[in-house]
C-alpha cells in the first residue's frame, strides 16, 4: 500500500522541474525571454541557480520546454472534447478555440514573446509554427471526420481562416481592444463551416 502511494506521487525531479518551468514562464511573461536570466528563474522558483541551470539547459532547450508547456496546457483543454478514440469533435474544438485556449492570458503573453523572437530566430519560428500547424490540423481533421469540405485543401483553408479569427481576437486584447460579443466570432466560424461543400465519396 505504501509502495503504491509512493508510485502515485510525482518524483522530486518532476516537482523541481515543474517549479522551475512555472517560474521560467512567469519571468518570461513579466520581463520577456531575452531579459530573463537563470538567476531570475532561481529567485522566482526559490531554488539554487546551479540547479536551475542543470534543469534548463541551453537556449533552444529552454524554448522547447516553454513551447511544450504551452502545448500541454492546450492539450489539457482538448482532452475534454476528445472521444474514446482520441478524436476531438468539431463543435468542442470551436468552443475551445473561441474560449479558453486562446483566452489564457499567461499563454498569450508568453506566445507573444515567442512571436517577437521568431522574427530573428529560426528555431523559435519553427516551434511557434508547430503550435499553429497543430491547431489547424486538429480543426481540419475534425472537419473531415464530420463530413465537411470537398477536399483537404478546402478544409485547410477553412481551418486557417477560423484560427486567424480566434487568434486575431486574442491578440487585439493586448491592445485593449476586446470583442464585446465573442459569440459573434464563434458564429462567424459556424458560417464558414456551414458554407463548405460536403465531403464527396472517395475524397482523400
Domain boundary among 36, 57, 78: 57
Residues 61 and 95: beta-carbon distance below 8 Å: no
Same domain, 92 and 138: yes
Same domain, 29 and 79: no
User: How many domains, in total, are found in the chain?
Assistant: 2
Q: Which structural domain, as residue segments, surrounds residue 5?
A: 1-57
User: What is the domain-level CATH number for residue 41?
Assistant: 1.10.10.60
- CA 193-198-201 angle, to 5 degrees, is 145
Same domain, 107 and 37: no
Query: For each of the chain's 204 residues, which pLDDT tens digit applies?
Result: 344 444 556 688 888 888 999 999 999 989 988 888 889 999 999 999 998 888 888 778 888 888 888 888 888 888 888 988 889 899 999 988 888 788 778 888 888 888 888 888 898 899 889 999 999 999 999 999 999 999 999 999 999 999 999 888 877 776 777 666 667 888 999 999 999 978 665 555
Give CA–CA dist 29/146, Å, rounded.
Answer: 38
Q: What pLDDT sits at residue 86? A: 87
Same domain, 21 and 109: no
C-alpha cell at 8: 502515485
Domain boundary among 20, 40, 57: 57
Amino acid at each position: 500500500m505504501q509502495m503504491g502511494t509512493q508510485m502515485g506521487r510525482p518524483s522530486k525531479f518532476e516537482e523541481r522541474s515543474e517549479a522551475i518551468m512555472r517560474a521560467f514562464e512567469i519571468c518570461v511573461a513579466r520581463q520577456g525571454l531575452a531579459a530573463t536570466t537563470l538567476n531570475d528563474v532561481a529567485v522566482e522558483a526559490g531554488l539554487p541557480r546551479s540547479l536551475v541551470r542543470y534543469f534548463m539547459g541551453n537556449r533552444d532547450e529552454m524554448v522547447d520546454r516553454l513551447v511544450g508547456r504551452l502545448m500541454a496546457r492546450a492539450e489539457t483543454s482538448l482532452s475534454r472534447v476528445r472521444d474514446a478514440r482520441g478524436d476531438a469533435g468539431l463543435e468542442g474544438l470551436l468552443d475551445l478555440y473561441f474560449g479558453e485556449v486562446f483566452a489564457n492570458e499567461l499563454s498569450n503573453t508568453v506566445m507573444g514573446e515567442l512571436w517577437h523572437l521568431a522574427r530573428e530566430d529560426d528555431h523559435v519560428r519553427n516551434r511557434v509554427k508547430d503550435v499553429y500547424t497543430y491547431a489547424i490540423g486538429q480543426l481540419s481533421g475534425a472537419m473531415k471526420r464530420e463530413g465537411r469540405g470537398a477536399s483537404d485543401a478546402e478544409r485547410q483553408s477553412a481551418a486557417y481562416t477560423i484560427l486567424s479569427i480566434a487568434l486575431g481576437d486574442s491578440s487585439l486584447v493586448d491592445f485593449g481592444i476586446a470583442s464585446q460579443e465573442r459569440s459573434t466570432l464563434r458564429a462567424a466560424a459556424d458560417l464558414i463551416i456551414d458554407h463548405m461543400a460536403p465531403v464527396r465519396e472517395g475524397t482523400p
